[in-house]
Amino acid sequence: MNKLFSIGFWSAVARFILRNRTLILIFIAVITVLLALQWKNMRFTYTEANLLPDDHPVNVEYDTFLSKFGEEGNLIVIGIKDSTLFKPETFKAWNQLAHDINSKDAVDLTLSVGNLQKLVKRKDTTAFAMEPLVLDTIYSEENLQQLEYELFERLPFYEGLIYSPGKTSVRTAVYLKKEIVNTAGRKDFIVKELIPLLDTFKDETGLTVHTSGMPYIRTLNAQNIIDEIGMFIAAALLVTSLIFFFFFRSFRATLISMITVIIGVMWAFGILGLLHYEITVLTALIPPLIIVIGIPNCIFLINKYQQEIKQHGNQAKSLQRVIAKVGNATLMTNVTTASGFATFILTNSKLLKEFGIVASICIIAIFLLSLFIIPIVYSYMNIPKYKHLKHLNKTWINSFVDWMERMVKHHSVAIYIASVTLLATGIIGIYNIKISGSLIEDMPKSTQFFKDIRFFEKEYEGIMPLEILIDTKRERGVMKLATLKRMDELQEYLEEIPELAKPISAVNLIKYSKQAYYNGNPEYYQLPNSQEQSFILSYAKSSAGDTNLLSSYVDSTGQYARITTFMKDTETDRFDRIEEDIKAKIAKVFPAERYEVSVTGKALVFQKGTKYLVTNLVISLSLAILLIALFMAWMFRSFRMILVSLLPNLLPLLITAGLMGFLGIPIKPSTILVFSIAFGISVDDTIHFLAKYRQELIANNWKIKKSVYAALRETGVSMFYTSIVLFFGFSVFTISSFGGTVALGALVSVTLVFAMLANLLLLPALLLSLEKSIANKRTFKKPALKIFPDSEDEEAENASEN
């Protein structure tokens, strides 16, 4: 009954498509226009990708911190390391640059050497005042030398903030208005205002300026993603069209296929706009991915059409068979590929969910476009000429098929030995895989902003924000001397960790207050003792409103304090140990009954997000394997066939994981997709081969060897063509400037090559070796879904039953 339904259904689909050609093309054009209108809703992300669910404890702690102190990532730093800085001409230009930046609407304030304030004790009241550090408006070498001495030797408060701990460089701190940090206004300021100012300064002075900070890094990194989308699409179209033409030697076949996938790309952008999803580093991969996955659909359909034309020359019959026979098989392969991506929807990561939703919808969409456009366009054209069919008789392709058959027939033991060796090597390599939670590892290494990150890491010992939030559980509890001493002890501990920059908090300001009380003597840059606390803390408290220094580090109630430090790019294992040590120190210094202390910040959130993503990878990959196993069970109704079909697809994944271990490629948000993408695509070849194998079994009265070799010859060419297209298609990602995208493209390409060889060599060898236990009518039951329904198959099955 299922069989008859399947045959009738696909015959009806074929008739519907060919009888309503014009209407279908109009419908596709209308949908394309409507989706193109949604492009205006596409927007590029202005925030970091949060890999954690909203209710995750790490996110909850981070949100608590933001509610007390606002956006942390609003600091841009502009650094200079040059011996001429404290020369009149250079200093004037540097000071003017800070003044010009400060005048911009997007800037809250700037701290630079030229506009620094120093804390001095007022004589008329118990308070401090802020006085300019630079009093002269005309700069001379003498007063600038005095300024240099005072800054480096008498103002330890500004160490790590304005000048480097090694006293070799200075920087200007630019604080953006917090309300624009996660909006398009941030990009407008950086691209249209800040960068032109910096370029002018460099041109006029000839000095090297280094710029960094999270808003700056995020803006330029996002711009790189935008620039690469067009590059990927162009490269994918070029590579796939060249390979397609090489195989088919037909301009019209190539053009039809390119038009089909270009419409698919337009739909992909339209779906992103329709769903109002942001374009992230993951969703940016979908348009070129659609090209790479869509071309194999075109290959199967056009190849079958040309085979049919060569066989009997009847165009109507050929087109009907293309839709009815290959359409069904292609649907199944696209469904399995889409299923691999759809498993990401079940994760709790918003980033992965959106990627999974759009990718799976687009894969089904490109299948439908291929199924409709290719037969309809060919129906309007003349029958292919002999020159268009010559590729079907290529000698080198036949030689490749002969080689596969010889290997399966005479060298099955060698195939098994090679498979076991690769499996063992892969397992060994897996133990060397590391997890990376680095925020900057995937960033383009050749760009100036990446080199600037390394500059600030070297000079200022960190760039990624790490925050410690302290809840004293009582109002004005932060300014108690006991609390300040505990904070100071923790800060001293943080300073000893080589991966962390010098921390800053209210403690630094209180130390500066004592120094100011003792007439600026740097020897008094320390917390007040119990005798001094009453009058020095009263000075600091009464000055807080005037200086506004405390508001960044203590909330308005005085109950919450923050300790801010910056972290170098650190390996995940080392980060975990640092976090564990900090929490142990916190537990020791801050009694739990009196204080509630949490470690948070962007650096920690990203690290935890990466680990969470790895867990979701295991879950999504397991779901993909289970889903496809169930799909195989539904198709073939044989448990043994499920095991046989999964082995050739799991082996390439293990080999790739081993390669990652040996080559030092870590598991990270970018490379985490490799396994699900590769598995979802590689299983398509298995479905094609096994479907044809079952068809041959019926036609050859359950003669296993004859059926295996016939299936190998029939599907080998198409599998080889599609694998080559996929290999070079995914290889275009290696031209990316993002390390993670390069690794993703290379790893998926390698995995698919191993998957092709496994499906063409290991799978047939297994079928021959296990022929007695899996290939008979009793164990290999009729499939629930008939993959290749056509009259030939019907006749073959009827003959075998008679």
User: Are 232 and 292 spatial neighbours (Cβ–Cβ below 8 Å)?
Assistant: no
Find the mean pLDDT for residues 269-295: 83
Distance separating alpha carbons of residues 671 and 429, to the nearest angstrom: 16
SS (H, E, C) 40-85: HHCEECCCCCCCCCCCCHHHHHHHHHHHHHCCCCCEEEEEECCCCC
At 589 the pLDDT is 92
Residue with the bigger pLDDT between 183 and 389: it is 183
Most confident of 76-80, 286-290, 602-606, 684-688: 76-80
Find the mean pLDDT for residues 715-740: 80
39-48, 144-153, 331-340, 492-501, range with the lowest pLDDT: 39-48
Residue 591 confidence (pLDDT) above 80 = yes
At 793, is the pLDDT very low, low, confident or very high (cuts 50, 70, 90)?
very low
What are the angstrom distances between the C-alpha of 777 and each of 635, 643, 701, 781, 797?
A: 15, 18, 10, 6, 12
- Judging by DSSP bridges, how do beta strands 43-44 and 278-279 pair with one another? parallel
Say which residues have a Cβ less than 8 Å from residue 535's Cβ, sequence separation at least 6. 126, 517
User: Are 561 and 488 spatial neighbours (Cβ–Cβ below 8 Å)?
Assistant: no
Residue 735 confidence (pLDDT) above 90 = no
Distance separating alpha carbons of residues 565 and 394, to the nearest angstrom: 65
Closest CA to 39 of 378, 389, 229, 273: 273
State the DSSP string of 624-656: HHHHHHHHHHHHH--HHHHHHHHHHHHHHHHHH
At 798, is the pLDDT very low, low, confident or very high (cuts 50, 70, 90)?
very low
Closest CA to 717 of 248, 385, 237: 248
Residue with the bigger pLDDT between 298 and 394: it is 298
User: Are 297 and 367 spatial neighbours (Cβ–Cβ below 8 Å)?
Assistant: yes
At 486 the pLDDT is 93
At 488 the pLDDT is 92
pLDDT, tens digit, 9 for 90 and up, residues 18-55: 888 889 999 999 999 999 998 888 776 655 666 777 78
Of all residues in the chain, the percent with pLDDT exceeding 90 is 10
At 469 the pLDDT is 93
Residue 782 confidence (pLDDT) above 60 = no
State the DSSP string of 151-205: HHHH-GGGBTTTB-TTSS-EEEEEEE-GGGTTSHHHHHIIIIIIHHHHHHHHHHH
Distance separating alpha carbons of residues 211 and 76, to the nearest angstrom: 7
At 390, is the pLDDT very low, low, confident or very high (cuts 50, 70, 90)?
low
User: Are 65 and 600 spatial neighbours (Cβ–Cβ below 8 Å)?
Assistant: yes
Of all residues in the chain, the percent with pLDDT exceeding 70 is 87
Q: What is the largest CA-CA distance in the chain?
A: 114
Distance separating alpha carbons of residues 521 and 502, to the nearest angstrom: 21
Find the mean pLDDT for residues 67-75: 78
Find the mean pLDDT for residues 127-137: 73
pLDDT, tens digit, 9 for 90 and up, residues 553-581: 888 888 999 999 988 888 777 888 998 99
Q: How many CB atoms lie within 10 A of CB 446?
A: 7
First and final C-alpha spacing in the chain: 19
At 4, is the pLDDT very low, low, confident or very high (cuts 50, 70, 90)?
very low
At 493 the pLDDT is 93
At 28 the pLDDT is 92
83-92, 201-210, 420-429, 785-794, range with the lowest pLDDT: 785-794
User: Are 518 and 524 spatial neighbours (Cβ–Cβ below 8 Å)?
Assistant: yes
Say which residues have a Cβ less than 8 Å from residue 642's Cβ, sequence separation at least 6. 629, 632, 633, 636
Residue with the bigger pLDDT between 76 and 534: it is 76
At 728 the pLDDT is 85
At 797, is the pLDDT very low, low, confident or very high (cuts 50, 70, 90)?
very low
Find the mean pLDDT for residues 74-83: 86
Residue with the bigger pLDDT between 121 and 36: it is 36
pLDDT, tens digit, 9 for 90 and up, residues 453-505: 888 888 887 778 889 999 998 988 888 889 999 999 999 999 999 888 889 88
CA-angle at 285, arms to 281 and 291, nearest 5°: 170
- Burial environment of residue 547 by CB neighbours within 10 A (0 to 12, 13 to 18, 19 or more): middle
At 362, is the pLDDT very low, low, confident or very high (cuts 50, 70, 90)?
very high
Residue type, 645: S
Q: Say what angle helices 2-19 and 21-37 make with each other, to 10 degrees.
A: 80
At 384 the pLDDT is 65
At 546 the pLDDT is 41
Residue with the bigger pLDDT between 294 and 398: it is 294
For the entire predicted model, the pTM comes to 0.74
The whole-chain average pLDDT of the chain stands at 80
pLDDT, tens digit, 9 for 90 and up, residues 401-412: 778 878 888 888
113-127, 543-557, 719-733, 742-756, range with the lowest pLDDT: 543-557
- Burial environment of residue 107 by CB neighbours within 10 A (0 to 12, 13 to 18, 19 or more): buried
At 772 the pLDDT is 58
Q: How many CB atoms lie within 10 A of CB 410?
A: 9
Q: Phi and psi dihedrals of 130, rounded to 5? A: -105, 125
Full set of structural domains in the chain with CATH:
1-41+231-393 (1.20.1640.10), 394-431+638-802 (1.20.1640.10)
Q: How many CA atoms lie within 13 A of 660 on its CB side?
A: 30
